[in-house]
Homo-oligomer: A and B are copies of this chain.
Amino acid sequence: MPRPSNTSERQEQIVLGLLEVMAERGYERSSVAAVARAAGLSPGLVHYHFPAKRSILLRLIDYLADGLVERLEGRLAQLEAPGDRLAAWVEAHLARDAESDPRRVACWVGAAAEATRDPEVAAAFRSALERSHAGLVELVREALRARGMSTRPARSLAAAIQASVQGYFLLSLTAPDAVPAGSASSTLLGLLEGLL
């Protein structure tokens, strides 16, 4: 009687272990042993379910993107007005509510740093980013159209918004005092308001 595979549960368990450890120590210093401990598993088992440490990170990046997309879709579902929808995108990223998890932000920025030197991580990171960015470009285009403006600068504008969001992530981790509490999403939306 074959034993049912539990690889996907275990993998998620391990990814959550990395999420926890990496938020604290960064990727490089998250030893496989520590990740295993955080996941409540034996060190050997990690390599039974993942071929290498790096592949856990790749999966974690996906996992973070999944969470974001889900959150985004929840907020977009009920909105019609282009302006509202764009605002919802920004808030899904920047709102610090019960759902949001600072560990996720820390891992995300850590993954970005890792992407800087590892091509495989870079690809995963880009593709994860793309999942929210493609939607953003479209939302910007809608908003421009709704106000009768040219959609030409849509990509540049989307890039500016994305950059702001990523930058807020980074600042919230490294220099939170520089960002007045709660100002992030409202200020960014204000800037957009001005332009549109």
Residues on A lying within 8 angstroms of B by beta carbon are 24-26, 28-29, 106, 109-110, 112-117, 122, 125-126, 129-130, 133, 153, 155-160, 162-171, 173-175, 177-180, 183-184, 186-188, 190-196
Contact = CB atoms under 8 A, between A and B. Distances in A.
A193 to B, nearest CB: 8
Contact of A116 (B117, B153, B162, B173): B173
Contacts of A194: 191, 193-196
A106 B116 contact: yes
Given A112-B109, A162-B178, A178-B133, A170 B171 contact: no
Given A28-B28, A166-B170, A187-B153, A175 B116 contact: no
A183 to B, nearest CB: 4
Contacts of A25: 117
A113 B115 contact: no
Contacts of A24: 117
A158 B191 CA distance: 12
A125 to B, nearest CB: 5
Given A129-B175, A166-B167, A157 B187 contact: yes
A165 B96 CA distance: 21
Given A28-B26, A156-B183, A156-B187, A116 B126 contact: no
B179 A163 contact: yes
A193 B191 CA distance: 9
B26 A117 contact: yes
